[in-house]
Chain A
């Protein structure tokens, strides 16, 4: 019989939720009571909403416990390990019976995330035990030609998972066609989309899958050097990548004559990004790796012809690379079985916002957005009304509830005005103001514009000024026309993807939520009660007990009234900070 295993999820989200404390508690218990089990670490399994998570594997099966803390884990260890009786009320997933969270895992197909949450990301042996580096060995063993590898990726239908959705095999083919003594392959791990965290989870949970994908890509295009461009904001991902690179070198998966292929020398180093969203753009990223300001340049020449140090260069994103070993090992046909006609395989989505189960899911392309949000994501937090989902970050747009049956594939999402992007889904409910959301994204792109193109630099600023006015109740007739006109000009006259897509959040919210804009402009009202300047705080005299708490907490002395008598708010003094609203224990402050 195998030894019982206790596995703690130590991804960033888990650690932030207290998983390290839980791990230490288990260790202490094990030592104090001399308990017989193997204590192991893994990374995020995707169920971020239940962190900290601990899996116990014994002869009867696997039990995933969620929402743990130092108290609960004592009970779990005592009952499950000590008395062989699992604590059912804390179990969030098991194959043995249904739990309330069963629907979170039910329709998922894990290819990119195949090892996340199952292996210790700091152990190359555990990666190898789950078919790790077997794709690379297959290439070496069968002496697969470079063109065969590229053909496999082409036939799988894999498209870039970073946002653009360009066919990966085709990109490799271009890079392969350009001959040079030096060539580079770059992994874009600069995940800058607010609302997306799939790359982070993948790097933290299964760094070797990304490395193996890169090594295979390097073989295919004959790259001599590899760079992982990773955000400095992801310290844990960088740490685990460094460990993985070192391990791969020791085992001969990196270095000279990889796996006995004497025509294949390749190594990888990590380059920490310094914080610039525009570096997601290929040519800007290359400039940044070269140590310059990350500003995009005109194409052609494309990186495939002249990229890093003016040598042919191929850039793919983290999730794209993680799919590669699986495709090579299982065959292009297996991969292409999943998905739709033009969008093959699976896609990882990061669910966040006003959703019950936020976390990472991987589903076959073709599932409806509604199913992702309601079946997997469990629906809207506090059972509020589902209003929209933001997809594709600052380059994307908001898809309204009535289009939620749109399926997730590149073309269907594009048709709504949003984009698939890297796969962030930020769910919004009736308490989200769409004008405010549009303003939020414009603020972001305006700040992140590199400034090279006037339309992007100045145009986004003018758009932001208009949006700011609207949310402050100073909107004018004709503002929407102005916004639309500016949008099309910025899209048409910007050099790179940042400018070309920056107006999308504004255009989609105007298209689907025009009435909300009009309420701001004409009625000076914010229907979602978000835009501070448009709110009015009043006291409900029937509910007010005259406790004076509101008056005491008001920072500008706008509230008056005698003790035990209903109070009132002087509207001309009120700064609408909401302090009275949050402090009143009797719900006597009315917000309108």
Chain B
């Protein structure tokens, strides 16, 4: 985090980039990281928590290696995005927002990924998968699992 702090320390409007940078290091923002930021940049702890809990992007708990973002935008909703989420919930045995026991996947419903023409859509890492059904979504997860175990 030292490079990150050096880059943004003292700059105005630095709170969100600092939190974003911290999250990209750890995958979430640990309590200790908040404390380090507070001590070294002079930002108030309460302000940082206020911001971190306001925006959808920030996480305060560890996440799985792969974050599955299932789009629930309007186009996906009317084309049964719910079925995709339901199948994944069942296959991964987690609820929305939770991480699998093996720490491999976190399942998340998100607002809109802007790939409406391919609805329903999910995104894992930087990869987007379109025109899904529940069965196909589960197949994609299984393939990642197989790749991970090799």
Q: Which residues in A have some Cβ–Cβ distance to B below 8 Å?
A: 12-13, 15-17, 48-49, 51, 191-197, 200, 231-235, 271-277, 288-294, 309, 350-354, 358-359, 390, 393, 424, 426, 428, 432, 437, 440-441, 444, 448, 450
Q: Bound state CA distance, A233 and B112, in angstroms?
A: 9
Closest 7 CB pairs of A and B: A48-B117, A275-B56, A194-B73, A274-B55, A352-B116, A352-B75, A291-B15
Q: Is the CB of B114 within 8 A of A191?
A: yes
Q: Is the CB of A293 within 8 A of B51?
A: yes
> Is B61 part of the contact surface with A, judged by Cβ < 8 Å?
no
Closest to A292 in B: B51
Q: Is the CB of A193 within 8 A of B112?
A: yes
Which of B56, B57, B74, B121: most chain A CB closer than 10 A? Answer: B74
Report B-chain residues with C-beta under 8 Å of the C-beta of A195.
Answer: 73-75, 112, 116
- Among B13, B110, B121, B126, contact of A289 (Cβ-Cβ < 8 Å): B13
Report A-chain residues with C-beta under 8 Å of the C-beta of B119.
Answer: 352-353, 358
Closest to A294 in B: B54
What are 6 A-B interface contacts by the 8 Å CB criterion?
Answer: A16-B121, A16-B129, A48-B117, A194-B72, A196-B112, A271-B13
- Among A232, A276, A309, A440, contact of B74 (Cβ-Cβ < 8 Å): A440
Q: Bound state CA distance, A240 and B120, in angstroms?
A: 25
Q: Bound state CA distance, A200 and B129, in angstroms?
A: 17
Closest to B18 in A: A291
Q: Bound state CA distance, A350 and B110, in angstroms?
A: 19
- Among A15, A193, A450, contact of B128 (Cβ-Cβ < 8 Å): A15
Report B-chain residues with C-beta under 8 Å of the C-beta of A354.
Answer: 78-79
Report A-chain residues with C-beta under 8 Å of the C-beta of B56.
Answer: 274-276
Q: Bound state CA distance, A15 and B13, in angstroms?
A: 34
Report B-chain residues with C-beta under 8 Å of the C-beta of A276.
Answer: 54-56
Closest to A441 in B: B74
Q: Mark B63-77, 1 if CB is under 8 A from A, else 0.
A: 000000000111101
- Among B110, B116, B130, contact of A233 (Cβ-Cβ < 8 Å): B110
Report B-chain residues with C-beta under 8 Å of the C-beta of A191.
Answer: 114
* Nearest CB on B from A438, distance (A): 12
Given contacts A235-B126, A448-B111, 7 further A-B contacts (CB under 8 A): A16-B121, A194-B111, A272-B20, A274-B16, A291-B15, A354-B79, A358-B118
> Is B113 part of the contact surface with A, judged by Cβ < 8 Å?
yes
Report A-chain residues with C-beta under 8 Å of the C-beta of B118.
Answer: 13, 16-17, 48, 51, 358
Q: Is the CB of A275 within 8 A of B74?
A: no
Q: Bound state CA distance, A444 and B112, in angstroms?
A: 11
Q: Is the CB of A12 within 8 A of B15?
A: no
Report A-chain residues with C-beta under 8 Å of the C-beta of B117.
Answer: 13, 48-49, 51, 197, 350-352, 358-359
- Among B51, B73, B77, B129, contact of A291 (Cβ-Cβ < 8 Å): B51
Q: Bound state CA distance, A424 and B112, in angstroms?
A: 12
- Among B16, B55, B78, contact of A437 (Cβ-Cβ < 8 Å): B78
Which positions 26-65 of chain B face chain A at CB distance < 8 Å? 47, 50-51, 54-58
Q: Bound state CA distance, A350 and B73, in angstroms?
A: 13
> Is B147 part of the contact surface with A, judged by Cβ < 8 Å?
no
- Among A231, A288, A353, contact of B16 (Cβ-Cβ < 8 Å): A288
Closest to A393 in B: B74
Report A-chain residues with C-beta under 8 Å of the C-beta of B126.
Answer: 235
Q: Bound state CA distance, A17 and B73, in angstroms?
A: 18
Report B-chain residues with C-beta under 8 Å of the C-beta of A353.
Answer: 74-75, 78-79, 116, 119
Binding site secondary structure of chain A:
mixed
Report A-chain residues with C-beta under 8 Å of the C-beta of B75.
Answer: 194-195, 352-353, 358, 426
Q: Is the CB of B110 within 8 A of A16?
A: no
Q: Bound state CA distance, A292 and B44, in angstroms?
A: 12
Q: Bound state CA distance, A362 and B64, in angstroms?
A: 41
Query: Assuming the A-B contacts A12-B128, A232-B57, A274-B20, are A197 and B78 also in contact, with contact meaning beta carbons closer than 8 angstroms in the complex?
Result: no
- Among A232, A288, A351, A432, contact of B78 (Cβ-Cβ < 8 Å): A432
Q: Bound state CA distance, A455 and B113, in angstroms?
A: 29
Q: Bound state CA distance, A194 and B55, in angstroms?
A: 17
Q: Bound state CA distance, A289 and B16, in angstroms?
A: 8
Report B-chain residues with C-beta under 8 Å of the C-beta of A440.
Answer: 74, 77
Closest to B111 in A: A194
* Nearest CB on A from B23, distance (A): 10
Report B-chain residues with C-beta under 8 Å of the C-beta of A428.
Answer: 78
Report A-chain residues with C-beta under 8 Å of the C-beta of B58.
Answer: 274
Which positions 125-141 of chain B face chain A at CB distance < 8 Å? 126-130
- Among B50, B55, B114, contact of A200 (Cβ-Cβ < 8 Å): B114
Report A-chain residues with C-beta under 8 Å of the C-beta of B57.
Answer: 232, 273-275
Q: Bound state CA distance, A233 and B69, in angstroms?
A: 10
Which positions 93-120 of chain B face chain A at CB distance < 8 Å? 110-119
Q: Bound state CA distance, A365 and B119, in angstroms?
A: 27
Q: Is the CB of B12 within 8 A of A275?
A: no
Q: Bound state CA distance, A271 and B54, in angstroms?
A: 17
Closest to B117 in A: A48
Which of B16, B114, B119, B121: most chain A CB closer than 10 A? Answer: B114
Report A-chain residues with C-beta under 8 Å of the C-beta of B130.
Answer: 13, 16-17
Q: Is the CB of B121 within 8 A of A294?
A: no
* Nearest CB on B from A535, distance (A): 14
Query: Assuming the A-B contacts A16-B130, A294-B54, are A196 and B114 also in contact, with contact meaning beta carbons closer than 8 angstroms in the complex?
Result: yes
Q: Bound state CA distance, A309 and B79, in angstroms?
A: 43
Q: Is the CB of A358 within 8 A of B116?
A: yes
Query: Assuming the A-B contacts A13-B118, A291-B14, A352-B119, are A426 and B78 also in contact, with contact meaning beta carbons closer than 8 angstroms in the complex?
Result: yes
Q: Is the CB of B20 within 8 A of A192?
A: no
Q: Is the CB of B13 within 8 A of A16?
A: no
Query: Assuming the A-B contacts A16-B130, A272-B20, A293-B50, are A197 and B115 also in contact, with contact meaning beta carbons closer than 8 angstroms in the complex?
Result: yes
Q: Bound state CA distance, A507 and B75, in angstroms?
A: 20
Report B-chain residues with C-beta under 8 Å of the C-beta of A437.
Answer: 74, 77-78
Closest to B113 in A: A233
